[in-house]
A = this chain, B = another copy of it.
């Protein structure tokens, strides 16, 4: 057991992947000498060289587009998008190429490309540095989309993502980069399959559904609710596409009440799919409509306002209260 920050856990995970397979490459802006603006790739260029840890020119379409080319040649590139808000110049390469080439080739081409995206707010940053763009990718058939919420998952999930023969959009909760936890780097026995959800706190009265940065917030909300005598279950989805409906619906059927929490704007967000799918599949088990707590339908505000914009304990518990009012 080693105590690792989430950021360091990712770093260790990538290191393991690079040691295991010489075809694994890291590429992106400032990932080399600097080790990335969040130091997630710290030290990797020193140890694996400039041919495997590539400081690229400043252009996201170029990063993903050339990663596709490298994958066509048998490599397994892991791209870093420096911040969530800078993924959009790469939208075409991700949506029209990365996601669709396997089908286009009737299965002949595999594209094991990972696109790492530090995501979400809460770090007091300027515009474009606090976005939660997951819904753009979960709606894109051909991509797998996952989000880690804690160091152990970060460590195991990044390795599984790199091993995946399908492209994976990998969301990292940037405001949790510095959270620490024990990670067992000596064995893989404890790894949860990449696309499984996990009940991170069992409860009986209602289910909180979250992923990435909001898992911790939900756990805090559940702790607070306990004091009020309410037992909340927290489900960490981990995988957004595919969605582990089995574990999710199981929780919902037990509690009958659901609050979905994410940072992205509620309108058209990933929570909409969750709410729609849960309702369709658990209709007779629901005591109240599935409620969603998320960002408002506005651009991400300046940082002095972000605490009001982001779902917090109070807004989550307010929604829980409302599910009991039905």
B298 and A141 within 8 A (CB): yes
B299 and A99 within 8 A (CB): yes
Known interface pairs A273-B267, A292-B276. Does A92 touch B100 (Cβ–Cβ under 8 Å)? no
Known interface pairs A96-B128, A127-B100, A128-B96. Does A267 touch B280 (Cβ–Cβ under 8 Å)? no
B279 and A268 within 8 A (CB): no
Q: Does A241 contact B (CB under 8 A)?
A: yes
Contact partners of A128 in chain B: CB under 8 A: 96
How many Å lie between the Cα of A83 and that of B269 in the bound state?
A: 25
Interface residues in A, total, Cβ within 8 A:
46
Q: Does A224 contact B (CB under 8 A)?
A: no
B299 and A141 within 8 A (CB): yes
B275 and A279 within 8 A (CB): yes
Tell me which residues from 264 to 302 in chain A have a Cβ below 8 Å from any Cβ of chain B: 264-265, 267-273, 275-277, 279-280, 283, 288-292, 296-299
Q: Does A200 contact B (CB under 8 A)?
A: no
How many Å lie between the Cα of A96 and that of B298 in the bound state?
A: 12
How many Å lie between the Cα of A109 and that of B91 in the bound state?
A: 26
Q: Can you sample 27 A-B contacts with CB below 8 Å?
A: A85-B96, A88-B92, A88-B96, A91-B91, A96-B128, A99-B299, A100-B299, A103-B298, A135-B268, A136-B136, A138-B267, A139-B268, A141-B296, A141-B297, A142-B298, A268-B272, A268-B273, A271-B276, A272-B277, A275-B279, A276-B276, A276-B279, A276-B292, A279-B289, A279-B290, A280-B291, A280-B292
Known interface pairs A135-B268, A280-B292; 14 further A-B residue pairs with C-beta atoms within 8 A, sorted by A's residue number: A88-B92, A88-B96, A89-B92, A100-B127, A104-B299, A136-B139, A139-B267, A142-B299, A267-B273, A269-B273, A272-B275, A275-B279, A276-B279, A280-B291
